[in-house]
Structure 1
Amino acid sequence: MKDREIKTTVILPVYNGLPYLKSSIQSVLTQSLSDFEFIIINDGSKDSSEIDIKQFSDLRIRYFTQTNCSLATTLNRAIALSNSDYIARIDQDDIMMPTRLDKQLKYMKQHPEVAMVGTWSKIIKDNHPTLRNHTHAISDKAIKLELLFDNPFVHSSIMIRKSVLDMVGGYCEDKSRQPPEDYELWSRISRNYKLSNIPEYLMEYREVDTSMSRTGVNPFLENVTKISSENLYYWLKDSYSLQECLQLSCLYHGFRSQQKSPSALSKRKAIKMYLLAVDKISENIKENNTEFNIIVDKQLKQIKSRFLYSYIPSFLKPLLKSLRNKVLGKG
């Protein structure tokens, strides 16, 4: 008996998608993998996005419109409408490389233990390449380590088993936890499943200056620290409280909303908490994991540097932040 055919659904939420929407749609339709359905939901766009969408007559496209609602609600609707075993994401201003879907589908078939796989991404600004990339962790253990504080996936690069989304309940629609919808979902999935990234640049991620994740507009950072603290607590609940985990998360991110100072924890206690989480995550690693160790060094350095930073006079901190951004190529 032959295995039944496995199809993939690509979902694209659109809200005021100009000027890059057509390029994103075209990048999906020209994939080397041809057998997929393409669900596009126009989430109440006020520009002429619909005109651009309707210029495509490809039969794989299933187009829906709705009044404007949250991104999480739109994504959950697209998932519910899908008729496949795998869900792949794309954003309205990002670009898929031609072999992305084919490589991800093959990876998922070869690794049935993996619930979700992302890819590395090149960063573009407007229509111009940059020298920067998103090269997130590859292995499950390293990804779980990064999830303690940050999001180790490019949202528009992921492919995920629909059965997993059904099990965990999809994207959280509680507006007090949005954004980041993606970091919140990956965190819940990671507690029961294995995750991975393909170490190839199969996406072009377009930076937009008004993105909340780039401007630091609340509630983004507040929610990041909240979700991060829950990830820490998952590993540390036998030894530390959720409030202590929140303090460590706020310290790491330099966020002061939930405490008087990011140094509410002693340096010794913060490091002890972190290293215990590392030990819990690294259990059963059978060999020296270079990727894992590099992330440990980076995160430990960040925690230690926050204590040094707390002694710097406040009037000097904007200057130091500006210099750091220039060094990282963000200025």
Structure 2
Amino acid sequence: MHHTPPSTKWRPTLVLAPWLMLAVACDDAASPPAATAPPPSDAAALAPEGGPLGSSPTPSDGGADVALGVQFLNLRVEEVGSRRAVVRFDTSVPTTCEVLWGLTAASLDRAASDPDMDPANPYALAHEVPLEDLPPATPIAFRAKATTPGGETFLSELRTFTTAAAAPGEPAWVNVGDLASGASIAAVSSNFGNTGPEGSFGANNAIDGMMATEWSSQGEGNAASLTVDLGANKTLVGFGFRSRKMSDGTSIIKALKLTFDGAAQAGPYLTPDPDNFYKFAFKAPQGARLVKLEAVDTTGGNTGIKEFQLFATP
């Protein structure tokens, strides 16, 4: 006959002597607490994604002895407008200064640098990079980029911001004076480096539709001028202008005048702030094919233009 075992079973019991329990308790008390990670610093928060602070996505070609990676400090976006913003940051060691940006995190296909960076010694601790030609009311993704004198290149973490909406009531004007519309440079007082209009600082940069490029004269000061050929007679209702500038305060066109087909004139127009893109409406529509812009008042030096646009109605 099957016999069911009782519900209780004999189990071995471990009994610790009081002195042994005391020793165990003392050992536990002596064990150090688990280490707690410190809160991330501002620099650590800006480490490149997927790597430690200062990890280099672009390996050095050799010769660099960088014991510590570059830290990006106080990375921020300021002066955000509808088409322009300024990225500012510091680095823990002197580096070059650049910002990679785009409309998506996966496509940082545009680059901007500090216009005041000295080509002979481009390394600094404080950096300021204007981003130009931004689309209004649009999210922008970017990373700061820094290269050490030894050739090590570092990226900050990914950041985003959104540009402001276009100002309400802006005139519905169309730029008919850019290269894409068939306009060209008919004459120019000079190009920096004595190049043609297609040079790095040639006059084509004044009518390419981009604030990130600029025309510079060869030290002409108030004598700087250029003439745009629209390709055909156009009825113009206004124009836009932004001067170039140098970090020492020179090269700014503070006032200018226009001449249409060598006859009718307009101006002078005041343009004192080189960070502002000025738009002016003519008192009456002006028909012309050739439009000459002449500096009237400048701060001297290699005066020039970031952008000159001639407007017609759609």
Q: What band does the TM-score fall into relative to the shorter chain? A: under 0.3
TM-score for both structures, normalised by structure 2: 0.26
TM-score for both structures, normalised by structure 1: 0.25
> Which one has a larger percent strand, Structure 1 or Structure 2?
2
Q: Is the radius of gyration larger for structure 1 or structure 2?
A: 2
